[in-house]
Amino acid sequence: MVDSPIERGRAWIEIDLDALSHNIADIRSKAPRDSEIMAIVKANAYGHGLDKIAERMVQEGINTFGVATINEGIQLRQSAPTGDILVFGRVHIDDVKLLSKYRLSQLVVDGAHAKFLSKCGHQLDVHIAIDTGMHRLGLDPSNFDEIESIFSYSNLSVKGLLTHFASADSFDDDDISFTHTQIKRFYTVVSKLKEKGYDVGKLHAQSSYAIYNYPELKCDYIRPGIMLYGVHSQSDDTKITTNLRPVLSLRANIAQVKWIGIGESVSYSRIYTSDKPSKIATVCIGYADGVPRQMSGSGAVAIVKGQKVPIVGRICMDLLMLDVTDVGHVEAGDVITIIGKDGDSEIRCEDVAAISGTITNDVLTGLASRLPRIYV
Told to check if 361 binds ligand PLP by CB under 6 A, we report: yes
Choice between 19 and 300, CB closer to ligand PLP:
19
Total residues contacting ligand PLP by CB under 6 A comes to: 13
Of these, 77, 223, 232, 314, which contacts ligand PLP (CB under 6 A)? 223
Point out the catalytic residue in the list 196, 218, 258, 268.
Answer: 268
Q: What DSSP string describes 39-94? A: EE-HHHHHTT-HHHHHHHHHHTT--EEEESSHHHHHHHHHH-SSSEEEE-SPPPGG
Q: Which residues contact 258 (CB under 8 A, 6 or more apart)?
A: 279, 280, 282
**What residues are paired with 53 via a beta bridge?**
none
Choice between 134 and 288, CB closer to ligand PLP:
134
Of these, 47, 73, 138, 224, which contacts ligand PLP (CB under 6 A)? 224
Quick one: which of 268, 258, 265, 266 has its CA closest to 324?
258
79-138 binders of ligand PLP (CB under 6 A): 88
Told to check if 232 binds ligand PLP by CB under 6 A, we report: no
147-166 binders of ligand PLP (CB under 6 A): 164
Point out the catalytic residue in the list 30, 42, 202, 276.
Answer: 42
Choice between 224 and 292, CB closer to ligand PLP:
224
Is 308 a residue of the active site?
Answer: no
Told to check if 226 binds ligand PLP by CB under 6 A, we report: yes
Residue 207 DSSP label: -
Quick one: which of 180, 185, 233 has its CA closest to 353?
233
Is 115 a residue of the active site?
Answer: no
Neighbours of 92 (CB within 10 A): 9
3-state secondary structure of 271: coil
Binding site for ligand PLP (CB under 6 A): 40, 42, 88, 164, 207-208, 223-227, 233, 361
Catalytic residues: 42, 268
